[in-house]
Every structure is written in structure tokens, then in C-alpha cells.
Amino acid sequence: MRAGSLLVRKWATRRWLAAALLAGGGLVMTVDAPALAADSEAGERFDCRELADRAPPESALDWFERSLWASHCYVFQARAVRIGYDGIRTLALSHHVEDGVEREAASFLDGPPVVFERRGRIGRLSWAEKGGEVPASPAGIAAHLDGYYRLQLGGEGRIASRRTVRLDIEPLDSLRFGHRLWLDAATALPLKQMLLDEAGRVIETFQFTELDRPRLHEGHVVLDRYREAPDDPWVIGWLPEGFVPQPVDTRSSQHGDAVKHRLYSDGLSTLSLFVEPIEGADLLAPGMHRLGVSHAAVRHRELGGRPMQVVVMGELPPRVLLRVADTLEWRDEDAAVSSVIHDGDAAEGGP
């Protein structure tokens, strides 16, 4: 493990780690309870009872979209195991819907006693311009993924004493990882997930060992309102094709306003960008660090006339994270001119 990786672990926000832990069931808005209470104008809803009346999925893409809706609409408790570079961990999981708002929790059952919780609505695929429309994540993600991954049905199996349908998701380029899903044949809930690197090697497995009587929520789940993009002082100079900025509130009490945090995703793979002034920051060693199955690219750069620390994290090939960090462009607010600084060969050669 590279020097400084322990600092990366300490510095990474709990929210990002919780999102990584609970990912795999679509993009749910990760916002705090006070924001949910105040945001009463979010009126669009999805009635989960519609899933019971839908015809069984036929294609791989149909199964994938159904699994996203199922992850929002089924109430369940489960036990699971996660196998990765950092060893084997067991977890207790739960998912509930209260007044249209989802509530998820994950508790580690071995090692340090850590519990992650979050509340949220069904999110949107991207920020929305005034008067524009952005579909809810399940429908939007399924349509978006089709251009960047090949989805195929891979036969049946048995996980946690339940019959499953396997779904193979292969990237169409070398800029993202592949996935293999085993979906519950009755509910479409993902019971097992494998993350595959560029060479097709399994780098993480997440699997339910028990699923306690899942039931369809007899009511609606609220969709998040349309959100306009914030006015960030930077422009991403390069992103893998298909990655779009995610309309999530990334503010956190664990870091001040000086730390700017944004998420970008192709609907399946996600990268997280942190930018903060070096002065007063918890400095990380420049270079590449491993975070379990994720990596973090760290750069110290002169941006906007100030020394900045740029951190790009995600379950993506390291060269992709480095190139994003190296091609970040800073806008000059007065002259409206972008200044681009490229460090190293990652930006020049590219992946």
C-alpha cells in the first residue's frame, strides 16, 4: 500500500463511504433529514404496487431496470458478506420506506462496530436546466447504460436459498469495470454482485446470505425534485464518455465549505471529486492510493492562482482517475479564461 493511504482513509468522508457500501441499487439521493423535511415541493411519486402488475422481464436490460426499481420498493432485512482486498466482512442490512422516503442501514457484524444510515428519495440521472426534464434514475440509468455496457443474461442459479437470474454487464471500453449480478427471480433484488477489473478478474464480491421475507412497499416512493447545477469554479477537462455530473447534495459537516465535493457517474460506475485549498488542509501524499477496491488519485496543483489539493476517488482504473485529476480546468471569473495545468504523462498519453 502506498505511503499516505492511511491518511486517505481518515480523510474520506463517511457519506462517500456509505454511498460506496450501499451502492448497487440505483442512485438514491443522499440528503440529510432536515433537508428532506424542508423540501416539500418534491411531488412526483412512483407507486411501488405497479411492479406487481408488470410482466416478467425478458431482456437483460429489462431485468436490470427492474432490479433498480426493486431496490427502491422492497422492504427487507438481510445478512450479507463482502469479500475484497481488505478481507471478509459480514453485515446486517435493512431497507424501509416511510412516508415515501427510503431509509437504509448497514451494520458491520465483525471488526470495528460501524453503522451506516441514510435517508433519501429516488434521484435523477443528472442536473436539470430550467424547464428541462430529467428521468428518475431507474429508467434513466437503464437507457443511459445501453451505450457504454453490453448487458447479457447468463443463466440461472441459487443464492440465499432463492432462485436467481444472472446478469453479465461488460464495459464497451477499458475505462470502467465490469459487473456480474445475480438477481432474485421473484423480486429482482440483487442478491450477489461481483466487480471485475479490466482483465476480467474479480476484485470484490458482495453477497446476501439471508433475505428475510422481502415485501413490496404498499404505497409510493417520492422522486427528488429537479435540481439546477451549481456554479462551480472548475470545469472537468476530461471524463470517460457517458459520465455525467450527479444532482446530489454533497455538503457535509465533516468538512468545511472550503472542500468542494462533486460526483460523476455513467449510471453504474461513479467517481468522486474533492477540491480544497492546500492551506489548512489535511495534506495527502500526491500519487495513487488504494482504498479497498477503490483508488484515489491525489494531485497538488496551482489552480485559480492558489495551491489546491485535488482528490479523485472511485472504483475505476487508476489511469482514469489520474487523468481526471490532471485535466481539471479552473475558470478565471474576471477574464472568463480557463487555465489548464497538466501534471505527468497521464493527461498527455491518456488511457
Whether 35 shows a pLDDT value over 90: the answer reads no
pLDDT band, very low/low/confident/very high, at 7 (cuts 50, 70, 90): very low
> What is the per-residue DSSP string for 12-70?
S-HHHHHHHHH-SS--B--B-HHHHHH-TT---EEETTHHHHSPPP-SHHHHHHHHHHH
Instruction: Single out the residue of 178, 130, 188 nearest to residue 150, CA to CA.
Output: 178
What pLDDT sits at residue 341?
Answer: 37
Instruction: Single out the residue of 6, 7, 5, 2 nearest to residue 282, CA to CA.
Output: 7
Tens digit of each residue's pLDDT (9 = 90 or more) over 160-189: 999 999 999 999 999 999 999 999 999 999
Quick one: average pLDDT of 230-250?
85
Angle at 247 between CA 227 and CA 48, to 5 degrees: 85
Tens digit of each residue's pLDDT (9 = 90 or more) over 294-345: 899 999 999 988 899 999 999 999 999 999 999 998 875 543 333 333 333 3
Distance CA 333, CA 320 (A): 28
Whether 113 shows a pLDDT value over 60: the answer reads yes
Distance CA 222, CA 141 (A): 17
Instruction: Single out the residue of 345, 291, 344, 341 nearest to residue 313, CA to CA.
Output: 291
The runs of H, that is alpha helices, within 116-174 are: 137-145
pLDDT band, very low/low/confident/very high, at 6 (cuts 50, 70, 90): very low
Whether 220 shows a pLDDT value over 70: the answer reads yes
Whether 225 shows a pLDDT value over 70: the answer reads yes
Quick one: average pLDDT of 45-67?
94
Amino acid present at 58 = E
Radius of gyration of the chain from Cα atoms? 20
Tens digit of each residue's pLDDT (9 = 90 or more) over 86-95: 789 999 999 9
